[in-house]
Amino acid sequence: MHSGDSELMDFSEYPKRVELADGLEVWLRPMRRDDRDRLHKFFKELPLRDRRYFKHDVTQREVVTNWCQNLDYDQVLPILAIKRDNDHEQVVADATLHTERHGWSTHVARIRIVIHPRLRKKGLGKFLLRELYDRAIMRGVQKIQTEVREDNRDAIALLKRLGFKKEAVFKKHAMDSAGKLHDMLVFYNDLSDLWKKMDDLNQDYDFHVVP
């Protein structure tokens, strides 16, 4: 059973303050239309080794513009981590929960988490996963699914450590920017098991990229 729509769209708890391991304060809140420039800057500052595994070219302004102009929290809920400096806001992480509200797969969700290099291994990944976990519970999600290219060894190792199991392989399903085809692997985990595994991870292993 899903919670009521009013509860699902209740964001009164945001912005939510969290304190990282080094004492830095960041604020978590859903993405807004006016976040386009901040989000685009965030993605452009990511290392190429991270960006090359993304499904979309996040350095293209039109990609980010499309996301911000077509927000639909009912299907895609992006939670941003914001660093504040007086009136200036900087996006330092992006965590996204993808769900289906109708059909056979309303109990399944996909997640994506990306953290700025300067804020990695400070516990931010765990805060963001907790936000996605809580929102997934509210939406009746039981299973988390993620897709990763077969050459993304770091992400695969992380997923396995978090208890994800390989569910399917799509042969030559992903094409990189050079036109090379790669197999796409589909991993899954039960939502309840995912949080148990996160509790077992120490801070030094705090993940920073789930593409």
Tell me the β-bridge partners of 189: 144
pLDDT tens sequence across 195-204: 777 766 654 4
Model pLDDT, residue 2: 45
Here the tokens at position 171 are: 């042969």
In order of start, what are the domains of the chain with their CATH numbers? 5-144+193-210 (3.40.630.30)
Q: What is the arithmetic mean of pLDDT over 15-21?
A: 94
Tell me the β-bridge partners of 91: 82
Here the tokens at position 77 are: 């809920």
pLDDT tens sequence across 23-58: 999 999 999 999 999 999 999 999 888 887 788 888
Of 62-66, 81-85, 116-120, 155-159, where does mean pLDDT reach its minimum?
155-159
Q: What is the arithmetic mean of pLDDT over 67-89?
A: 92
pLDDT-derived band of residue 123, with 50, 70 and 90 as boundaries?
confident
Instruction: Please give the model's pTM, rounded to 2 decimal places.
Output: 0.85
Model pLDDT, residue 84: 94
Q: What is the arithmetic mean of pLDDT over 8-32?
A: 90
Model pLDDT, residue 53: 78
Give the Cα separation of 96 and 47 in Å (integer).
Answer: 19
Average pLDDT, the chain: 86
Model pLDDT, residue 51: 85
Model pLDDT, residue 148: 87
Q: What is the arithmetic mean of pLDDT over 77-103?
A: 92
Of 161 and 144, which is predicted with more confidence?
A: 144
Model pLDDT, residue 6: 45
